[in-house]
Amino acid sequence: MTVVRTSHTHAHAVDAAIELFSRQGYEQTTVEEIADAAQVSRATFFRRYRSKEDVVFADHELLLEEVTVMLAATRPEARDDGERAWDPATAPYLEVCRAARLVFDHHLGQRATSLARYRLLQQVPALRDRELITTHRYERLFTRYLRDTLPADRSSTVQSIAFSAGVVAVHNAILRRWLRQPELDLRPELEEAFAELRRGATADLARRDQPVPTTTVSADGARVVVVQVDPGTTAETVADAVRTALA
């Protein structure tokens, strides 16, 4: 019940602040006016939101917590045996996309607030800066999750950052299209874009798993191909690597 009340309180404060900013102007609106409209004291306002910029994105504070909990529940050690199969090399990418979809659905579910906030962001540079901070927090959360959850040989910080940045960039690009044309249903496009990112990430992993041949020339001028492979590598895989090197 506490979570429900807190969520409602944050939503009310966000709506109140955006309505006042839109009607009166950002600079002209005081913290006291926002606190009165949100039906909280000035002290309570600063304890919860710290600034005028923060209150506009207060709903994302709760959403970040929800995403954190959701991702934590997908870690192998937190899963029940009866849940769907977990592929450690690919499933973490899927879970990050699911988390990003949750954020997208939040915007769609709060249509009036999302549209009003978008219009406000076009007018107030300080709020655009605050939006960037919120975006980077999602990106860091996704990166940390991938780095901690992918197998050790595939969880490089660079790879995790690249995928997380791609997910956030795709999400934001499609979200902005929806904010400009809210009559469109862009969720299928979002799903396909996320699927393409996952295909790219797993293709990179597959290429890293392939044996890398080196070609040298012997003293008599013959080409020598050397392929270093792991135990269990099939003969077909080795042959493919040699054919590639010779080509």
Q: For the chain, give every domain's residue range.
A: 1-54, 57-209, 213-246
Domains 1-54 and 57-209 share a fold: no
CA dihedral 64, 65, 69, 71 (to 10 degrees): 10
* Rg of the chain taking only CA atoms, in angstroms: 25
Cα dihedral 201, 155, 149, 76 sign: positive
C-alpha–C-alpha distance, residues 201 and 66, integer Å: 25
Only one residue has tokens 């009866």, namely 82
The SS3 assignment for 57 reads coil
C-alpha angle with apex 196: 191 to 200, nearest 5 degrees? 150
- Could you state, in chain order, the average pLDDT of each consecutive group of 10 residues for the chain (247 residues)? 49 88 90 88 85 88 93 80 69 95 95 93 90 95 94 81 96 97 96 95 63 53 59 64 65
CATH tag for 1-54 (out of 1.10.10.60, 3.40.50.300, 3.20.20.80, 2.60.40.290) = 1.10.10.60
C-alpha angle with apex 211: 208 to 215, nearest 5 degrees? 120
Q: Give the class (CATH, top level) of 57-209.
A: mainly alpha
- Residue 81 corresponds to which tokens in the numbers above? 């045996």
8-state DSSP, 77:
G
Distances in whole angstroms, Cα of residue 237 to Cα of each of 36, 133, 200: 69, 46, 21
- Residue 190 amino acid letter: L
Residues 112-148: pLDDT tens digits? 999 999 999 999 888 999 899 999 999 999 999 999 9
C-alpha–C-alpha distance, residues 45 and 75, integer Å: 36
